C-alpha cells in the first residue's frame, strides 16, 4: 500500500509529522492492506492563512481499492491533526461497511449455491 500525504502551502507538515501520519494510517488500515493499492491524503486550509475560523481545515483521504472504485472521505475540523484523525476514523468505518457488505454477500452466495447442490 502506497501512502501519499499532500498539504496546501499554508499548512506546514514536516517530514516527521508526515512519517507519523503514514504510520498511523497504515496501522488503521492494516486490516484492508491487501485490498488497497494506494492512499492519498490532501490537507488544505479552506480560508487560507488570511482568516481563521472554526472547521476551516479540510482533510480528504482517498483509498484506491484493487478492482473497485476509489473510496474517499472528507472531514472539516479546527486543526490538521484533528481533521486527519477524524478522516482516518471515517475512512475505516466506510471500508468496514463496504468490504464487510461484499464479504456477507459473497458468503450468502456460496451458502445459497451449496444449498442448491444438495437439493
Quick one: the chain helix, strand, coil %, rounded to 5?
A: 50, 25, 25
Range list of β-strands (E), 1-119: 2-7, 36-45, 57-65, 71-77
2-92 topology per CATH? Double Stranded RNA Binding Domain (3.30.160)
- Give the pLDDT of the chain (119 residues) as one tens digit per residue: 999 999 888 788 889 999 999 999 999 999 899 999 999 999 998 876 566 666 689 999 999 999 889 999 999 998 899 999 999 999 999 999 988 877 777 777 765 555 555 45
**The pLDDT of residue 28:** 93
CB 45 within 8 A of CB 83: no
Question: Strand pairing partners for 7?
Answer: 43
CB 27 within 8 A of CB 89: no
**The pLDDT of residue 115:** 52
Amino acid at each position: 500500500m502506497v501512502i501519499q500525504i499532500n498539504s496546501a502551502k499554508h499548512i506546514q507538515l514536516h517530514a516527521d509529522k508526515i512519517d507519523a501520519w503514514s504510520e498511523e494510517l497504515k496501522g488503521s488500515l492494516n486490516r484492508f492492506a491487501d485490498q488497497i493499492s494506494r492512499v492519498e491524503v490532501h490537507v488544505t486550509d479552506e480560508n487560507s492563512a488570511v482568516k481563521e475560523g472554526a472547521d476551516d481545515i479540510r482533510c480528504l483521504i482517498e483509498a484506491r481499492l484493487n478492482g473497485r472504485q476509489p473510496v474517499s472521505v472528507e472531514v472539516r475540523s479546527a486543526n490538521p491533526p484533528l481533521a486527519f484523525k477524524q478522516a482516518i476514523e471515517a475512512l475505516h468505518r466506510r471500508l468496514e461497511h463496504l468490504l464487510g457488505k461484499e464479504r456477507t454477500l459473497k458468503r450468502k452466495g456460496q451458502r445459497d449455491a451449496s444449498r442448491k447442490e444438495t437439493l
